[in-house]
Structures are given as C-alpha cells and as structure tokens.
A = this chain, B = another copy of it.
Amino acid sequence: LKTLASGVLKGDRVSISKAISSIEDRDENSRDLMSELYPRTGRALIVGITGPPGTGKSSLVNELAKVYRSKGKTVAILAVDPSSPISGGAILGDRVRMLDHSLDSGVYIRSMASRGDEGGLSRAARNAIRVLDAAGYDIVIVETVGIGQAEVEIVSVADLVIVVLMPELGDEVQAVKAGLMEIADIFAVNKSDLPGADKVIYNLHSILNSHDSSSQVALKVSAKTGMGIEELANKIDEFQKGEKTELRGKRKMKNLADELVRNVALNLFENAEARLKNDPQFKEIVAKVGERKLDPESATDLLVERLVDYSK
C-alpha cells in the first residue's frame, strides 16, 4: 500500500489508475490509501464543467487541456458519467475524441460512473479528485453531464464551475435561470461558430444583470475552431487569483461538512441494509406490510427502533 500511495504522489499513472480503481471498488486498501494521500491534497485547481447533453463539453475540455499543456501545466480530467443507460452511449462517444492526449504524459483522463443510488456526485468521485490532486496535477477538470444532482453538486467540489451552453438550446437556456445559474462562475457558449451565439450571450447577460451577479461571466467559445479557448483559460486564471478565494474557503468548509454527513448516512444505510437482511424479524415485518396489516411508515419506525437496539 505504501508503494501505491508513493506511486500516486510521484505521479505514476499506473499507480493513479490503481488507486482510483481501489476507491471505486472500496476495497480493503482504499481507506488507508486515502488517509495517506489526503494530507497531500489542496494544491490543484479543481475546475468543474457541466451543462446540458450535446453541448460539446468533452471537446471543450479537450481543447482546454491543450491550452494548459501549451503553458506547461499538467491536467487531469475526471469525466463523471451518469449511470443512466440513456445518455450513456453518447457520452462514451465523446470520450473517444479525447484520444488526442493519449501519448502525452502531462494529461491523465479517467471516466467514472456517478452511482445512481447515492444521487449526484459519488463518494468515489470526490475521493478520485483527491487522488488526482495528490498526484500533483496542476488542473483537475471534473466533467459532469447537466442532468439531475451531479451538476449541482459539482459546485461542492470545484474551485470554479464552468457551465457549457450552445446556440439554439431553446428552452434549456431558459431553464438555466432556475438551476445552473447560481453555480456557474463562467458560462461558456460552445459551438459559437454556429449562428445564434450572440443571442445566447445577450440572454445570459440579461439574466446575469437581473441577478446582480457581477462576478459571473459569459464567453463565446468553439471547441471546433479553437475560438475563445485561450480566453477561457485566462478567465479561469483570473478567478483563481481573484477575491472570490476567501468566499470559496468558507464554502469549502460547508461542503466538507455536507460530505461528511452524507458519508455517515451512507455508512448507516449500508449497516442497516446488512443487518436488516439477516434479521428474521425483518421478513416478518415485510410480510405484514404485504398483507396490509401494517403500513410502510409504521414498519419503518419499528425497524429504526430495532436498529437502535442492535447498537446497544
């Protein structure tokens, strides 16, 4: 294990991959691994990238990585795919484009499933970001698809969030008002080589102005033509140096507290599940609910009481 942790700390790619797999599987080493690596985290800039499907997030990430490489910075990309089978295929397709970097040792790319049962960004993804941070990458880009919880939770791990949009998204840009609006530090309107980009920027500005969100910016970019990518990287640098850092620090403590509560709940759930499934009384209670002699909420109360009894 010491070897695996020190491999990660040296930036050895095989060690990093093994470490992330260990965390994904939550095998017997993962816990010790995290306690060895965690003290060495906190150096990387964590950039979250999210947005609706089809906006070209992966291509944009790809181009952004190229800009950083040209500046001599190392980049790790963690692509968090929804577990949903429906969008799975398309995302896998995007991933293929990333092969551009496959021979560059300064870029590490990994995709992970966002486990559906937890809803949102998984515990494993949070720890994988820490592995990449400890491995010494200058920039860790976390890419999630903007559906459900994962996109909003990206803000709880990232130093900076980029929401990717595109022209002619229609209703979806409207919907941005409701949810993605608050989490974005930068709106990147990708595919701005297509018509309609100015309209999206105009709409965004009018929304931003009505919210008095003076620190948020909207940029036209195109992963295809390379337009605006350098400017996007510069904006990221500005944010990193900017006065928002202190605010981020405070928010990070809150995020950490939330993460711990979630972890605790997940552990309690796993314990509860294992204990209940071995408890003959559990089967009897389920049978009673099946026969409608007991309702599910009262049954839940009975079971919670039993679990509290176990721990005595």
Contact = CB atoms under 8 A, between A and B. Distances in A.
Interface stretch (A58-66, A86-94, A135-143, A210-218): A86-94
Interface stretch (A12-20, A146-154, A196-204): A146-154
Interface of A: 30-31, 34-35, 37-39, 41-42, 52, 82-90, 93, 116-120, 126-127, 146-149, 151-152, 171-172, 174-180, 252-253, 256-257, 259-261, 263-265, 267-269, 272-273, 276-277, 282-283, 285-287, 289-290, 292-293, 295-301, 303-304, 307-308, 311-312
A175 B88 contact: yes
Contacts of A180: 85-86
A288 to B, nearest CB: 10
Nearest to A298: B35
Contacts of A38: 292, 295-296
Contacts of A35: 295, 297-298
A265 B307 CA distance: 10
B89 A300 contact: no
A52 to B, nearest CB: 6
Question: Can you tell how many copies of this chain the complex includes?
Answer: 2
B174 A286 contact: no
Nearest to A306: B264
A182 to B, nearest CB: 10
B257 A282 contact: yes
B175 A89 contact: yes
A51 to B, nearest CB: 9
Contacts of A126: 296
B296 A127 contact: yes
Given A84-B179, A89-B172, A261-B269, 7 more contacts: A39-B292, A83-B148, A84-B149, A85-B180, A89-B174, A256-B290, A308-B311
A275 to B, nearest CB: 10
Nearest to A174: B89
A294 to B, nearest CB: 8
Contact of A116 (B82, B148, B285): B148
Contacts of A282: 257, 260
Contacts of A257: 282-283, 286
Contacts of A172: 86, 89
A260 B286 contact: yes
A93 B286 CA distance: 40
